[in-house]
C-alpha cells in the first residue's frame, strides 16, 4: 500500500517536473525580464521528493491517515448543493444582508442623501487577467475606488488570473488596503522564487503526500502554487502554505469587504464552462451544483441528488493551489512539451529508481508518439463532485479539470450575470495584453448571446480609445450597465507613459519582477483613471437608484 503510494507520487512528480522543464523553451522571453523561469521548478522538485519519500516510508498506514488529517472539517460530512434555479447559498445571502447597511451608508456619503436598501443598486467589480501587470493595475483600480468612496459601495468583485493574485492575498491578509499596498514592493522586487526553507519544504511535501493518500492528482499546479504562495502570501510567514480560502476569508462575513469571487474554466466541455470560487462554495451555473469550499477535492457519490454526501474526508485545498489554478495560463499543449524535452526528461529519469523510471519512460514514449490534440500540460484535476448525479452536466466525468479562465476570455463576467445576484452595475478593469478592438468584450458579448443573458450594446469604435466608457441599454433598465476601464494611455495622467509600449518592457505578461517606480507608475494609471471619472460613475449610480424608485 505504502510502496504503491510512493510510486504514484514519484510518477506524478516526475511527469510534472519533466513537462514543466519543457516549458523553458516556451518561456524564452521570460528569461530576459525575470529571474523566475520554469527550470527553477524542475530543480525545486528534488528536495520535495526527498521529504515525501522519507515521510511515507517512516509511517504506518493508520498513522499516515492521522497525520494528513489535520483539518477543522475532518469529522464533517460535506453535501453537494444542487439548485435547478441556480439560487445563491445561505452563506452568500447572509453576507449580502450584512453588506447592505455598509453599502447604503457609503452611498449616502457619496451621493449626499440616504438610500433605502430596496433602492440600493448592486455594484460589482470585474477585473481581468494579465499576470503581474493585471495584479498591479487591479490594485491601483481598488485604490482609486477606495479614495473616491466607491469601493465601499460595491457588493462583489470577480478576479481572473493576475487580478485574483491582487484580490485573494489582500483579503486573506485582513489588512486595510493601504496597509496591504505597502507590502507590494517587497513582494515584487525579486520575482517568483522557489521555497528553500526546510520547514516549508516539509509542509509542501506533506501536502503532496496528503494528495497521494486521498488518490488526488498531483500536477504542475501543486508546485507552481507553492511558488506563488512564497511570493504573494508571505504576510503569513511560515504558515503561507497552510492558508486556505474558506478560513482566511472568513472575516468578510460581517460585510466589511466586497465578496470576492475567483474564476476558472473546465475544458471537460466545449464551449468551456465557467466555475466560480467564493469563500463559501465552489461550483458552476453550467452544472447548477456547488460544494462547500472546504470540501472541494473530496469524492462524492451523486446517485442520490437529495443526499449527495462526501465519501471521504480529504482536507481543503490550500489557497496556493487555488491561485495556481486561477492563474495557470502558462499551460500549453503537452504534445509540444514532450517532443521538445527528451534530454531533460531522460536526465530526470536517471535520478529515479530504475523500476519507476522505466515506467515513466515507457509512458512518455507512448505519449510522444500519439495524437495528443488539446491535452493540457499537467493541469489541475480533482474528483468531480457531480459524478453520477442524474441529469446534471459532466456527470460522466470522474475528474474535473480546471484551467485559467483567460484561455476562454479574459474578463470574468459570467459569475456576475447569474440572475440570482441581480447585479446592476459592473465596473471593469481590463488589463489584457490585447486591448485594440476590445476582443475580450467581443467574446463576452458572444458568450452572453449564447446563454441568453442580458448585456448592453458595446461601441467597439470607441471602447479601446477612451479611458472610461459607459455602456447601457437605454430601452431596458434591467440590463446591467458596464463601466469599462481599458489598459490605455491617459494623457492627463502622463504624457509619456504608454502601457502599450510598456508591454515590450516591464508590463509584459511574462515579467514577475517590478521595481518600486514601476509599481507606482502602473498602479497610478488605473488609480488616476477611477478618480478622474468618479463623478461620472456617481451619476450612473444615481440614475439606477432613480429607476429603482420609479
pLDDT in tens, 118-140: 999 999 999 999 999 999 999 99
Q: What pLDDT sits at residue 53?
A: 52
Q: What pLDDT sits at residue 74?
A: 80
Burial class of residue 179 in the structure, from the number of CB atoms within 10 Å of its CB (0-12 exposed, 13-18 middle, 19+ buried): exposed
Residues 460, 457: Cα–Cα separation, whole Å: 9
For residue 420, tell me if it sits in a domain. Answer: yes
Question: pLDDT-derived band of residue 452, with 50, 70 and 90 as boundaries?
Answer: very high
Q: Give the number of residues written for the chain.
A: 550
Residues 16, 226: Cα–Cα separation, whole Å: 14
Question: Nearest Cα to 327, choosing from 120, 517, 510?
Answer: 510
Section 334-351 average pLDDT: 42
The yes-or-no verdict on residue 47 having pLDDT over 80 is no
Give pLDDT tens digits for 376-385. Answer: 445 788 999 9
User: Cell digits for 489?
Assistant: 494611455
Residues 220, 239: Cα–Cα separation, whole Å: 21
Residues 409, 74: Cα–Cα separation, whole Å: 37
Q: Is 159 helix (H, G, I), strand (E, B) or coil?
A: strand
Q: Catalogue the E-assigned strands of 233-388.
A: 259-266, 273-277, 281-284, 289-292, 380-383
Give pLDDT tens digits for 397-411. Answer: 999 999 899 888 999
Section 204-218 average pLDDT: 78
Which domain covers residue 140, as residue numbers?
Answer: 81-190+246-288+407-549
Q: Which of 19-23, 44-48, 502-506, 529-533 has the highest mean pLDDT?
A: 529-533
Burial class of residue 449 in the structure, from the number of CB atoms within 10 Å of its CB (0-12 exposed, 13-18 middle, 19+ buried): exposed
Residues 220, 15: Cα–Cα separation, whole Å: 9
- Is the Cβ–Cβ distance between 485 and 525 less than 8 Å? no
Pairing state between β 281-284 and 289-292: antiparallel
Q: What pLDDT sits at residue 55?
A: 55
The yes-or-no verdict on residue 352 having pLDDT over 70 is no
CATH code of the domain in which 518 resides: 3.40.1090.10
Angle made by CA atoms 52, 312, 309, in degrees to the nearest 5: 155
For residue 377, tell me if it sits in a domain. Answer: no
Section 451-461 average pLDDT: 95
Q: What pLDDT sits at residue 488?
A: 97
Higher pLDDT among residues 488 and 38, named by residue: 488
The yes-or-no verdict on residue 164 having pLDDT over 60 is yes
Question: pLDDT-derived band of residue 156, with 50, 70 and 90 as boundaries?
Answer: very high
Question: pLDDT-derived band of residue 510, with 50, 70 and 90 as boundaries?
Answer: confident
Q: What pLDDT sits at residue 28?
A: 34
Question: Nearest Cα to 263, choosing from 84, 80, 413?
Answer: 413
CB neighbour list of residue 365: distance below 8 Å, 6 or more residues apart: none
The yes-or-no verdict on residue 468 having pLDDT over 60 is yes
Give pLDDT tens digits for 228-269. Answer: 898 999 889 888 999 999 998 889 999 999 999 999 999 888
Question: pLDDT-derived band of residue 365, with 50, 70 and 90 as boundaries?
Answer: low
For residue 397, tell me if it sits in a domain. Answer: no
368 to 15, 153, 354: CA distances (angstroms): 13, 53, 21
CB neighbour list of residue 86: distance below 8 Å, 6 or more residues apart: 285, 288, 418, 419, 420
- Is the Cβ–Cβ distance between 315 and 73 less than 8 Å? yes
For residue 202, tell me if it sits in a domain. Answer: no
Q: Is 406 helix (H, G, I), strand (E, B) or coil?
A: helix
Residues 399, 379: Cα–Cα separation, whole Å: 12
Residues 322, 63: Cα–Cα separation, whole Å: 28
Instruction: State the pTM of this model.
Output: 0.84
- Please, what is the average pLDDT of the chain? 82
Q: What pLDDT sits at residue 52?
A: 54
For residue 179, tell me if it sits in a domain. Answer: yes
Give pLDDT tens digits for 58-105. Answer: 555 555 555 555 678 888 899 999 999 999 999 999 999 999 999 999
Question: Nearest Cα to 331, choosing from 286, 375, 297?
Answer: 375
Higher pLDDT among residues 215 and 92, named by residue: 92
For residue 544, tell me if it sits in a domain. Answer: yes
For residue 526, tell me if it sits in a domain. Answer: yes
Question: pLDDT-derived band of residue 431, with 50, 70 and 90 as boundaries?
Answer: very high
CB neighbour list of residue 460: distance below 8 Å, 6 or more residues apart: 437, 438, 441, 442
Q: What pLDDT sits at residue 97?
A: 97
As a whole-number percent, the residues of the chain with pLDDT over 70 amount to 78
Q: What pLDDT sits at residue 273?
A: 95
Pairing state between β 81-82 and 289-292: antiparallel
Higher pLDDT among residues 319 and 248, named by residue: 319
Q: Which helix (H) or strand (E) holds 305?
A: none
Section 277-300 average pLDDT: 96
The yes-or-no verdict on residue 340 having pLDDT over 70 is no
Q: What pLDDT sits at residue 9?
A: 45
As a whole-number percent, the residues of the chain with pLDDT over 90 amount to 60
Total structural domains in the chain? 1
For residue 331, tell me if it sits in a domain. Answer: no
Amino acid at each position: 500500500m505504502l510502496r504503491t503510494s510512493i510510486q504514484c507520487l514519484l510518477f506524478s512528480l516526475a511527469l510534472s517536473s519533466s513537462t514543466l522543464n519543457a516549458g523553458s523553451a516556451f518561456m524564452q522571453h521570460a528569461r530576459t525580464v525575470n529571474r523566475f523561469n520554469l527550470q527553477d521548478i524542475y530543480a525545486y522538485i528534488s528536495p520535495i521528493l526527498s521529504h515525501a519519500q522519507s515521510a511515507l516510508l517512516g509511517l504506518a498506514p493508520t498513522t499516515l491517515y492521522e497525520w494528513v488529517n489535520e483539518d477543522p472539517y475532518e469529522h464533517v460530512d460535506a453535501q453537494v448543493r444542487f439548485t435547478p434555479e441556480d439560487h445563491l447559498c445561505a452563506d452568500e445571502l447572509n453576507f449580502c444582508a450584512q453588506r447592505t447597511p455598509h453599502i447604503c451608508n457609503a452611498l449616502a456619503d457619496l451621493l449626499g442623501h440616504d438610500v433605502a436598501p430596496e433602492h440600493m443598486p448592486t455594484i460589482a467589480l470585474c477585473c481581468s487577467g494579465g499576470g503581474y501587470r493585471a495584479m498591479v493595475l487591479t490594485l491601483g483600480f481598488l485604490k482609486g475606488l477606495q479614495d473616491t468612496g466607491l469601493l465601499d459601495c460595491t457588493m462583489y468583485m470577480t478576479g481572473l488570473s493576475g487580478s485574483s493574485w491582487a484580490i485573494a492575498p489582500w483579503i486573506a491578509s485582513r489588512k486595510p488596503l493601504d496597509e496591504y499596498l505597502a507590502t507590494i514592493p517587497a513582494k515584487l522586487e525579486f520575482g517568483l522564487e522557489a521555497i528553500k526553507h526546510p520547514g516549508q519544504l516539509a509542509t509542501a511535501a506533506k501536502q503532496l503526500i496528503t494528495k497521494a493518500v486521498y488518490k488526488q492528482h498531483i500536477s504542475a499546479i501543486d508546485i507552481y502554487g507553492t511558488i506563488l504562495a512564497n511570493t504573494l502570501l508571505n504576510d503569513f510567514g511560515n504558515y503561507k502554505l497552510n492558508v486556505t480560502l474558506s478560513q482566511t476569508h472568513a472575516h468578510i462575513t460581517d460585510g466589511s469587504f466586497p465578496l470576492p469571487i475567483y474564476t476558472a474554466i473546465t475544458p471537460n466541455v466545449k464551449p468551456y464552462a465557467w466555475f466560480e470560487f467564493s469563500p463559501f462554495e465552489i461550483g458552476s451555473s453550467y452544472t447548477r451544483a456547488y460544494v462547500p469550499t472546504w470540501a472541494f477535492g473530496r469524492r462524492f457519490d451523486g446517485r442520490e441528488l437529495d443526499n449527495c454526501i462526501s465519501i471521504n474526508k480529504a482536507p481543503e485545498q490550500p489557497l496556493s493551489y487555488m491561485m495556481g489554478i486561477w492563474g495557470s495560463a502558462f499551460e500549453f499543449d503537452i504534445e509540444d512539451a514532450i517532443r521538445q524535452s527528451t534530454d531533460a526528461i531522460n536526465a530526470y529519469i536517471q535520478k529515479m529508481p530504475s523500476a519507476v523510471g522505466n515506467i515513466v519512460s515507457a509512458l512518455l514514449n507512448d505519449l510522444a508518439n500519439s495524437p495528443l490534440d488539446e491535452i493540457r500540460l499537467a493541469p489541475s484535476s480533482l474528483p468531480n463532485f457531480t459524478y453520477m448525479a442524474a441529469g446534471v452536466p459532466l456527470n460522466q466525468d470522474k475528474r474535473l479539470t480546471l484551467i485559467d479562465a483567460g484561455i476562454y476570455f479574459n474578463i470574468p463576467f459570467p459569475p456576475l450575470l447569474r440572475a440570482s445576484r441581480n447585479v446592476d452595475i459592473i465596473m471593469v478593469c481590463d488589463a489584457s495584453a490585447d486591448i485594440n478592438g476590445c476582443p475580450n468584450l467581443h467574446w463576452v458579448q458572444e458568450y452572453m448571446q449564447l446563454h441568453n443573458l442580458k448585456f448592453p450594446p458595446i461601441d467597439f469604435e470607441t471602447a479601446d480609445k477612451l479611458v472610461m466608457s459607459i455602456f447601457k441599454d437605454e430601452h431596458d433598465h434591467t440590463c446591467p450597465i458596464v463601466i469599462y476601464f481599458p489598459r490605455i494611455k491617459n494623457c492627463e495622467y502622463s504624457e509619456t507613459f504608454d502601457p502599450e509600449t510598456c508591454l515590450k518592457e516591464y508590463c509584459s505578461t511574462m515579467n514577475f519582477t517590478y521595481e518600486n517606480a514601476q509599481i507606482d507608475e502602473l498602479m497610478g494609471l488605473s488609480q488616476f483613471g477611477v478618480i478622474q471619472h468618479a463623478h461620472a460613475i456617481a451619476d450612473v449610480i444615481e440614475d439606477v437608484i432613480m429607476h429603482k424608485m420609479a
